[in-house]
Amino acid sequence: MSDFLYEKFLEDHRVYHAARAFWFRQIKQMLPNQDSLVSYLSERFENGKLFYDGNPIFNAINRRTGKAVRIVQESPREFEKFYASFNSESLHQIEINGRQQFILEKVIVLTLTRESLEKSKEELRGWLRG
């Protein structure tokens, strides 16, 4: 049995949508109840079609803290087991308390397994809470 979750997400749009929903649930449940997540990047072309490439598979900002997370899910076929993360001051901006601020991003690029999921959640818990 494969170690990879949602392994065929790039081949089957139903699997892709399920993977997106999975990420949203995983990250939403890390937040304190009063915090809300808002998408800050487009995952669609101008004609409305999703990128369907996992890049990103999930993006959201915690408006209270101004901290954002962007998850890029890579193809297991190409990347095998892979995990990378970095922090970045994005060019994108958000208004917090009446001031425009550059968004601070935690970017995680991975192939999705139980192990990489746990590692990403460990990184994101503290980050998103501020």
Partner 1 sequence: MHRGRLQSQGGGLNDSKPWAQPVPLKHKTSIGMSHALEAMTNSKEQKLRAAAHAKSRAFMDAAKAAGGVGPTSKTYMVKGDPHRRVDIEVRNGKAFE
Task: Give the footprint of partner 1 on this chain (CB under 8 A).
Answer: 41-43, 45-47, 49, 51, 53, 55-56, 59, 70, 72, 74, 78-79, 82-84, 86, 90-92, 105, 107, 109
- In contact, 35 and 62? CB cutoff 8 Å: yes
CA-to-CA distance for 19 and 25, rounded, in angstroms?
Answer: 10
CA-to-CA distance for 67 and 61, rounded, in angstroms?
Answer: 6
Shortest Cβ 86–partner 1 spacing (Å)? 8
Shortest Cβ 33–partner 1 spacing (Å)? 28
For partner 1, which is the closer residue by CB, 1 or 91? 91
For partner 1, which is the closer residue by CB, 81 or 125? 81
Among 38, 54, 43, residue whose Cα is nearest residue 111: 54
